[in-house]
């Protein structure tokens, strides 16, 4: 399905169309249902989805993560603008509890589809879609990824979007773990799409792969769907298909899809 959305945002002098392509709901459901508890199998299934989406050859590489049997998986979409910078979209794929469908197959399984639709049209900025390994062991994958980026390369990163545990409730962001300007942009996209979007901090109960980027003073937006009521589902036996609120999950998918196109068009 293809959508054209005219957004009149305060950050833009005049409304401009955002064109983005969504997977059919049935296809996305099938991908989400591929979640299962064993990390080696999660890695294999996600790698297959990357390959099927066109992330192969020079577009795809793996990054060894010390302390993890599985590597980070990285898929690139080259920018064609005059001075392309980098937008990183990341989610961890490892799990500890139930089938790990919410935490965090819900985020990881979106990466291949995002890379495919962004590759269909020229992009101003370069995108890198990163499936992080070993988040549950202490953010190992995101620390390794960030460490591999030089100080000069870090200056070229204009946004990092981290997705972790979507589909429990309408889309949330972590205010203390996010850059204000990116949160405002996401809120405006949500308003234009008539979607719910609010801030919920998770400082006292957990963390996610946005933390290393925030600590490094790189612009980051940490997206999730966790509330005080739904937190017990995370890392437990209840993290299975029945925990998914499909409408909320698909709405998060719509929101992030539009946000990525907006950031590519409007970030300097």
Give me the pLDDT at residue 16, please. Answer: 64
The whole model's pTM is what? 0.94
Dihedral angle of Cα 200, 203, 205, 211, to the nearest 10 degrees: 100
Give me the pLDDT at residue 204, please. Answer: 75
Give me the pLDDT at residue 82, please. Answer: 84
86 pLDDT above the threshold of 70: yes
Q: Which band of pLDDT confidence, cut at 50, 70 and 90, is reported for residue 3? A: very low
- pLDDT per residue over 216-263, tens digit each? 999 999 999 999 999 999 999 999 999 999 999 999 999 999 999 999
Tell me the two tokens of residue 190: 């949500």
Give me the pLDDT at residue 21, please. Answer: 82
- Mean pLDDT over residues 97-114, rounded? 97
> Is 244:32 a contact under the CB 8 Å cutoff?
yes
83 pLDDT above the threshold of 90: no
Q: Are strands 86-92 and 126-132 parallel, antiparallel or unpaired?
A: parallel
Distance CA 117, CA 119 (A): 5
193 pLDDT above the threshold of 70: yes
Distance CA 113, CA 110 (A): 6
**Most confident of the following: 10-14, 82-86, 198-202:** 198-202
Instruction: Count structural domains, the chain.
Output: 1
5 pLDDT above the threshold of 70: no
Q: Which band of pLDDT confidence, cut at 50, 70 and 90, is reported for residue 4? A: very low
- pLDDT per residue over 133-170, tens digit each? 999 999 999 999 999 999 999 999 999 999 999 999 99
More confident call, 190 vs 206: 190
Give me the pLDDT at residue 203, please. Answer: 84
Q: Are strands 157-163 and 86-92 parallel, antiparallel or unpaired?
A: parallel
- Domain region containing 239: 2-266
CATH number of the CATH domain containing 150: 3.40.630.10
Distance CA 227, CA 217 (A): 26
Region of poorest pLDDT, from 42-46, 57-61, 113-117, 204-208: 204-208
């Amino acid at each position: 399905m293809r959508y054209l959305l005219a957004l009149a945002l305060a950050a833009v002098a005049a409304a401009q169309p955002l064109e983005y392509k969504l997977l059919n709901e049935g296809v996305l459901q099938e991908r989400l249902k591929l979640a299962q508890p064993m990390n080696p199998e999660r890695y294999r299934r996600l790698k297959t989805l990357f390959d099927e989406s066109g992330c192969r050859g020079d577009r795809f590489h793996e990054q060894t993560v010390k302390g993890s049997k599985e590597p980070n998986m990285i898929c690139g979409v080259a920018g064609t603008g005059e001075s392309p910078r980098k937008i990183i979209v990341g989610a961890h794929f490892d799990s500890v509890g139930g089938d790990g469908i919410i935490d965090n197959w819900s985020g990881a399984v979106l990466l291949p589809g995002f890379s495919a639709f962004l590759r269909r049209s020229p992009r101003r900025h370069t995108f890198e879609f990163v499936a992080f390994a070993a988040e549950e062991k202490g953010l190992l994958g995101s620390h390794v990824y960030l460490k591999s980026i030089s100080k000069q390369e870090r200056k070229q990163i204009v946004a990092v979007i981290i997705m972790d545990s979507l589909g429990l409730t309408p889309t949330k962001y972590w205010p203390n773990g996010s850059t204000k300007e990116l949160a405002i942009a996401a809120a405006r996209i949500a308003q234009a799409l008539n979607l719910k979007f609010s801030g919920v901090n998770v400082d006292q109960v957990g963390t996610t792969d946005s933390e290393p980027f925030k600590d490094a003073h790189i612009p980051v937006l940490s997206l999730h769907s966790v509330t005080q009521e739904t937190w017990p589902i995370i890392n437990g036996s209840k993290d299975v298909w029945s925990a998914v609120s499909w409408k909320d999950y698909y709405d998060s998918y719509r929101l992030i899809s539009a946000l990525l196109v907006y950031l590519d068009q409007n970030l300097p």
